[in-house]
Amino acid sequence: MPLVCLTDFKAHAREQLSKSTWDFIEGGADDCLTRDDNIAAFKKIRLRPRYLKDVSKVDTRTTIQGEEISTPICIAPTGFHCLAWPDGEMSTARAALAAGICYITSTYASCSLEDIVATAPGGLRWFQLYVHPNRQLNKQLIQKVESLGFKALVITVDVPKIGNRRHNITNQVNLMKNLLLKDLGSPEKGNLMPYLQMSPIDSSICWDDLSWFQSMTRLPIILKGILTKEDAELAVKHNVHGIIVSNHGGRQLDEVPASIDALTEVVAAVKGKIEVYLDGGIRTGNDVLKALALGAKCVFLGRPILWGLAYKGEHGVEEVLNILKNEFHTSMTLTGCRSVAEISRDLIQFSRM
């Protein structure tokens, strides 16, 4: 039986993966209220279609940070892709290249950055950074990703401490120690990634530290994990280039707003000065349309990419992306949008559920 929607891929992945791997991918923080609300919140938004418009040609292309992508559906940073498929992030990178979209590679990648780049030359990649307490190691890693051709630096801000993920505690998951990493070695030999993956995240980083990162790289800096207008205003003040509205898939602080619910105030706060993106809860083409109508420049997929990997590696990821792109194309057509630029706030309303 063919898999026809993202929910099908989720069900298949649950059957394929070990319980501990499934719990690691799907688990949220505490009672998982935010994880579940990320999806439920989209269902409280209704569409307002416009008809009798010429939609014989619908163009899903857009740009992020000046780079063209085939559709505003990209790949969020998630770690340890080899848990879902042997080739791990290399398969993900090839699928992103084939789809013509951006792939944000995680600090916790299970493949070396060199292998990820070599397997999909020409792909649009950003790099997600968990800040290490050792500034010199951060500097070496940033210089490395810049030299490898990554186009942006995504700094995750919502993990000064790992959230209370009960499934991981129950299953005694310690990926840092148990997973066979590809780059094992000392940082002195240039093998930075495993050393960073085995180390704590810097809980002292604050707004004034951003100038240090800006001083060492020409890459645009994106902050991932912003949920409030206050932090969005500070991001603009500190000259970052973009924000990913995200609650870490509900894996950090439970009982925070769903990403789509936080999006409106963040978009309003930046006043068009920087690009705003969203991750969390995207499962259908309608979800993508709703996020763009509320001001997101594009959306990023987390768990569904891992479901695709578990199905058929890079081809599974390609299927996930193609299904969502086709759904989004249908959503645009049936609401009267011929281009991404025509998607506006007028297309949605909030239901009284």
pLDDT tens profile 273-289: 999 999 999 999 999 99
- Dist CA 38 CA 249 (whole Å): 8
Say if residue 351 carries a ligand binding annotation: no
Secondary structure percentages of the chain, helix, strand, coil, to 5: 45, 15, 40
Say if residue 8 carries a ligand binding annotation: no
**Does residue 169 fall inside a structural domain?**
yes
**Does residue 146 fall inside a structural domain?**
yes
Task: Respond yes or no: is residue 248 known to be catalytic.
Answer: yes
**Does residue 188 fall inside a structural domain?**
no
Q: If you average pLDDT over every residue of the chain, what do you get?
A: 92
Say if residue 147 carries a ligand binding annotation: no
pLDDT at 301 over 60: yes
**Does residue 183 fall inside a structural domain?**
no
**Does residue 192 fall inside a structural domain?**
no
Strand partners, 244: 224, 277
pTM: 0.94
Tens digits of per-residue pLDDT, 95-126? 999 999 999 999 999 999 999 999 999 999 99
Say if residue 79 carries a ligand binding annotation: yes
**pLDDT given at position 308:** 98
**Does residue 333 fall inside a structural domain?**
yes
Domain count across the chain: 1
Catalytic site residue from 81, 132, 241, 248: 248
- Dist CA 327 CA 192 (whole Å): 40
Query: If you average pLDDT over residues 258-264, what whole number do you get?
Result: 98
- Dist CA 305 CA 321 (whole Å): 8
**Does residue 182 fall inside a structural domain?**
no
Range of the domain at 153: 6-48+58-177+197-350
**Angle, CA 38 vertex, CA 269 and CA 59 arms, to 5°:** 70
**pLDDT given at position 162:** 83
Question: Are 4 and 10 in contact, with CB atoms under 8 Å apart?
Answer: no
- Dist CA 3 CA 25 (whole Å): 20
**Does residue 1 fall inside a structural domain?**
no
Q: Give me the CATH number covering residue 280.
A: 3.20.20.70
- Dist CA 158 CA 160 (whole Å): 6
Residues contacting 321, CB < 8 A, separation 6+: 73, 95, 96, 99, 101, 301, 308
**pLDDT given at position 186:** 44
Say if residue 281 carries a ligand binding annotation: yes
